[in-house]
Amino acid sequence: MNELKGLRSLVTGGASGIGAATARLLAHRGAEVCVLDIDTRSVTEPLHGCQADVSDDASVRAAIQAAVTAMGGLDILVNNAGMGAVGSVEDNPDELWHRVLDVNVLGIVRTTRAALPHLRASHHAAVVNVCSIAATAGLPQRALYSASKGAVLSLTLAMAADHVREGIRVNCVNPGTADTAWVARLLDAADDPEAERAALDARQPMGRLVTADEVAAAVVYLASPAAASVTGIALAVDGGVQGLRLRPG
């Protein structure tokens, strides 16, 4: 229950979905938690809320400084904030490419850069990036999103190599389609959201989406002392989508 007692954590995009589940679980396991999000109105005690946009360097630096001041340091950084984009390379204008890469990739660069001096002072420093099966799966109609998550995967490996000798572990979690507001928004845009939801469930090897709590459990494992020798890995929480490679018939 209390294996994370004394550790100080920050979760970006922690006001909703996977980030919120991660923030709750970190707190439940005894960590102090700061949620960095563009909208922190839903963040309640004992969690700290730090309003910031990961695409704005000044706001990220200010939020991380505020978090460190509030908690007395930083041991765990969860880079979870992200945005989606639907379409092939013909569908998305350059502006959207810049925006999604700015949030999904550079957002991680900004938070990590601001956090590193504090992580170096920690005896248990861990960074967990929330990536996606889109990084390697070749999903249709997700060119921009997949490219951004492919970059998150390689960035995770490069960061793990750069900081391993400093005692800072860096890993990522690759969720499959997870049952969050993100997916609800996509379904709501469909002509028949209920039928679309049933079809989405049916396409999963387990016949259901993964839950935010299941992804959070993997994130918290990688962030915890139980994973002290684990760095530079991508842990899939996808109900078997990638590993099983099921084919009809």
> Which amino acid does the sequence have at 133?
I
Mask 170-209, x = binds ligand NAD (CB under 6 A)? Answer: -----x-xx-xxxx--------------------------
Question: Out of 55, 146, 156, 171, which residue is the one contacting ligand NAD (CB under 6 A)?
Answer: 55
Q: How far apart are the first and last CA of the chain?
A: 45
Residues between 120 and 139 that touch ligand NAD (CB under 6 A) = 130, 132
According to DSSP, the residues that pair with 8 across neighbouring strands are 32
HSE of 166, CA atoms in CB hemisphere, 13 A: 19
According to DSSP, the residues that pair with 48 across neighbouring strands are 34
CB closer to ligand NAD out of 167 and 240: 240
Structure-token pair, residue 102: 């700015």
Question: Out of 10, 26, 77, 83, which residue is the one contacting ligand NAD (CB under 6 A)?
Answer: 83
Q: Do 37 and 80 touch, CB atoms closer than 8 A? A: no
The Cα diameter of the chain in Å comes to: 58
Size of residue set near ligand NAD by CB under 6 A = 27
State the residue number with the nearest CB to ligand NAD.
17
Structure-token pair, residue 136: 């390697």
Q: Has 145 been annotated as catalytic?
A: yes
Residues between 22 and 41 that touch ligand NAD (CB under 6 A) = 37-39
Closest CA to 125 of 235, 49, 228, 21: 228
Q: Is 49 in the site for ligand NAD (CB under 6 A)?
A: no
**What is the Rg, in whole angstroms, of the alpha carbon atoms belonging to the chain?**
18
In three-state form (DSSP H/G/I as H, E/B as E, the rest C), the secondary structure along 31-84 is CEEEEEECCCCCCCCCCEEEECCCCCHHHHHHHHHHHHHHHCCCCEEEECCCCC
How many whole angstroms separate alpha carbon 77 and alpha carbon 167? Answer: 14
16-24, 25-33, 113-121, 187-195 -> range binding ligand NAD (CB under 6 A): 16-24
Question: What sign does the dihedral 79-80-85-86 (CA atoms) show?
Answer: positive
- CB of residue 99 vs ligand NAD: minimum separation in angstroms? 9
One of 15, 145, 172, 239 is an active-site residue; which one?
A: 145
CB closer to ligand NAD out of 167 and 196: 196
- CB of residue 38 vs ligand NAD: minimum separation in angstroms? 4
CB closer to ligand NAD out of 126 and 131: 131
| Contacting residues toward ligand NAD, per CB under 6 A | 12-13, 15-19, 37-39, 53-55, 80-83, 103, 130, 132, 175, 177-178, 180-183
Active-site residue numbers? 145
